[in-house]
A and B are shown apart, each in its own frame.
Chain A
Amino acid sequence: MFLRILDRLEEIIISLLIGGATVLIFVAVLHRYGSTVPFLFPYLHDIDMTWAQELCIYMFVWMAKFGAAYGVRQGVHVGVDVLVNRLGINHRFKVILFGLMAGAVFTGIIATLGASFVWDLSETDSRSNDLEAPKWIVYLAIPLGSGLMCFRFLQVAWTFWRTGDVPHASHHVDGIDEDVPALHPQGGLPAHQGIKA
């Protein structure tokens, strides 16, 4: 139950952040050009939008941290799985588990370091340039995001340990039939997903 709420919350937060940031920059651009129109000038002149850029950056950094955690659950993080996939299933199991645990270790370390950093920062009066938001709240994204990511790695590792399945991102896009078999024909760590450069 708690897990399901967490899953939904994660999805809602990152969707809102990317959507919100898009609208924010769109409005900021409209505002910039709107203020040059004489008719609109009196209404728009007094609205200050200089903070939009900074807010957009912060929104995206938060989105990136929580989205990365969501990505672990969905298996979007790509690795070099060519060699692993040539191992027999029993040994591949161990190597993949090693990779997942390494992920948990790294994100765990970062979460701990980030927490101590944010703790120190919260005792200072450091504020961001434009928004003048307390910096420690802004940087809270690191411990929270990495902590969640660590939790997700452990969760995936646990499922893998019990069932032998890792989440596979499918290239699931409209226009491709549902019955297409796994596009990355190997097992192994998660394949690529969706849109990529």
Chain B
Amino acid sequence: MSSITADTIPPNKGATNAAIMIAAPLVLLGVCLLSKMGIIVVPSGARGLIIAGLLISLFITGMPISIALGLSVLTFMFTMTDVPIVAVSLKLFTGIEKFEIMSIPFFILAGNFLTRGGVAKRMIYFATTLIGHWYGGLGLAGVVSCALFAAISGSSVATVVAIGSILLPAMVKQGYPKRFGAGVIATSGALGILFPPSINLVIYSVATSGMSVIGPDGRSVSSASIGQLFIAGIVPGICLATLLGAMTFYQAYKNDYPRMERASWGERGKAFLDSFWGLFLIVIVIGGIYAGLFTPTEAAAMAAVYAFFVSVFVYKDLKLSDVPTVLLNSAAMSAMILYIVTNAVLFSFLMVSEQIPQGMADWMSNQGFGIISFLLVCNLILLAAGNVMDPAAIVLIFAPILFPVAARLGVNPVHFGIMMAVNMEIGLCHPPVGLNLYVASGIAKMGISELTLAVLPWLLTMIGFLVVITYWPGLTLFFPRLLGM
């Protein structure tokens, strides 16, 4: 439905809707101000609802998410609490004054260097020599190279761009239908969120850290660390990659898509050595964090320096004169995410001071909600949110709300984080705002509605996998436990 372009809508359509969209936040703001002045009395139970209403009404005007969050918090603080409003501006600084958060810009920078630095094409070549001779060879190679690239870049859009822009034209040339190729790449690219290093897992850890939450037995539950989440993401990531690969194979087998010639072991070895520099980054980041050599932020900084070194001096695909552009783009992207982080920190500060998560947790345990129904509700909420919002914002807004409830019901924090990540992956792959789809449609030059159909088999695979991840915590947790984390 998003493929309807602006021109097909009559220019005067939606007069009432537009009026409502502008009036709703203003009316709610008015209510808040009147209650501040003591003209009307807002029962304390309704305060949360008014703020939630204000937030949602601001969201649907399409203004930046960070601004909508900030304005709601500001309104709330000013009209309904005695918290000095100067504290808000201070919180905008102190909210991101954590060293863990600083791994986000570093990972983004590393990802940008890798995307432009020729790492992707070497990985694709390596994957093609490995499994190109199977049914759907290039498609399978796409899944594998997406998984490999995801394991060094931390971002799923970067993965789609880096792999898709090289592999899609090659697949079309080989005689694959375009929609097959675009479907494989758009969905496999989403592995970036699950495979460590993942910016989204960092955000989850940051968003839930420092919250005091209580488990079902009354003892406090510590939130998941970045290192734990990274290690826990590996096994589900490999499982999902395998499933996507199996779906690719099945489709190719059914339709008898072309296969590549089998590569010799010599070629494989050569391709491995050539892509080794890129692959070694996995060892630096994951190994470095797990062995305790670096903190996650330090590992991210090392990854950025290493990616710069490899792109400019080893592969020489990036010119030194391009480096300022990479820096500038990374800075803009990081600033956008950090700006949402600051405002979301404000928002969760509000949630906690109003004790909304605790209230929800109490209500849920009183209603006799079990883990099963709670997790189902979580998934539905997150999938619905994935329809309209960007993954980083979803995690920042929903993790502080849902995590305390989950902990109260006895859900493991690490498991919950990975479940959220799989949800975000699905959100990236379906319209209307699935970012991967937009990127893939740009590369494949296909319309969004056509691409939506193209990704369907893989999307269903992912939804099936989500059910497994949700109700089988062991799959996520056994690997970190094996390593004693």
The judgment on whether A and B are partners is: yes
CB <8 Å contact, B203 and A176: no
Complex Cα–Cα for A25 and B442 (A): 36
User: Within 8 Å CB of B335, what residues of A?
Assistant: 14, 63-68, 70-71, 76
CB <8 Å contact, B18 and A91: yes
Closest to A97 in B: B22
CB <8 Å contact, B435 and A192: yes
CB <8 Å contact, A185 and B448: yes
Tell whether B144 is near chain A: CB-to-CB under 8 Å. Answer: no
Rounded to whole Å, the gap between the CB of A83 and the closest CB of chain B is: 5
Q: Which of A86-127 contact B (CB under 8 A)?
A: 86-92, 94-96, 98-100, 102-103, 105-107, 109-110, 113-114, 116-117
CB <8 Å contact, B302 and A29: yes
Q: Mark B421-456, 1 if CB is under 8 A from A, else 0.
A: 000000000001101001101110100100000000
Tell whether B368 is near chain A: CB-to-CB under 8 Å. Answer: no
CB <8 Å contact, A196 and B333: yes
Q: Mark B1-35, 1 if CB is under 8 A from A, else 0.
A: 01111100111111101100110010000000000
Rounded to whole Å, the gap between the CB of A153 and the closest CB of chain B is: 9
User: Within 8 Å CB of A65, what residues of B?
Assistant: 335
Rounded to whole Å, the gap between the CB of A21 and the closest CB of chain B is: 7
Tally of chain B residues near chain A (CB < 8 A): 107
- Taking a contact as CB atoms closer than 8 A, the residue among B92, B193, B448 that contacts A142 in the complex is B92
Tell whether A42 is near chain B: CB-to-CB under 8 Å. Answer: no
User: Within 8 Å CB of A117, what residues of B?
Assistant: 86, 89-90
CB <8 Å contact, A88 and B88: no
Complex Cα–Cα for A134 and B25 (A): 40
Rounded to whole Å, the gap between the CB of A187 and the closest CB of chain B is: 4
Rounded to whole Å, the gap between the CB of B436 and the closest CB of chain A is: 10
Complex Cα–Cα for A195 and B328 (A): 12
Tell whether B98 is near chain A: CB-to-CB under 8 Å. Answer: yes
CB <8 Å contact, B155 and A195: yes
Complex Cα–Cα for A76 and B324 (A): 18
CB <8 Å contact, A175 and B161: yes
Q: Which of B54-72 contact A (CB under 8 A)?
A: 58-68, 70-71
Rounded to whole Å, the gap between the CB of A86 and the closest CB of chain B is: 7
Closest to A59 in B: B102
Tell whether A197 is near chain B: CB-to-CB under 8 Å. Answer: yes
User: Within 8 Å CB of B2, what residues of A?
Assistant: 82, 85, 185-186
Please report B residues at the A interface, Cβ cutoff 8 Å. Answer: 2-6, 9-15, 17-18, 21-22, 25, 58-68, 70-71, 74, 85-86, 88-90, 92-93, 96-99, 101-102, 105-106, 108-109, 111-112, 115-116, 153-158, 161-162, 165-166, 192-193, 198-200, 203, 294, 297-298, 301-302, 304-305, 324, 327-339, 342, 387-393, 432-433, 435, 438-439, 441-443, 445, 448
Q: A110-B88, A195-B108, A197-B154 are in contact. List 8 more A-B contacts (CB 8 A).
A: A85-B62, A95-B61, A99-B63, A99-B64, A103-B67, A193-B333, A193-B336, A197-B337
Please report A residues at the B interface, Cβ cutoff 8 Å. Answer: 11, 14-15, 17-19, 21-23, 25-26, 28-29, 53, 56-57, 60-61, 63-68, 70-71, 74, 76-92, 94-96, 98-100, 102-103, 105-107, 109-110, 113-114, 116-117, 138-139, 141-142, 146, 171, 173-176, 180, 183-197
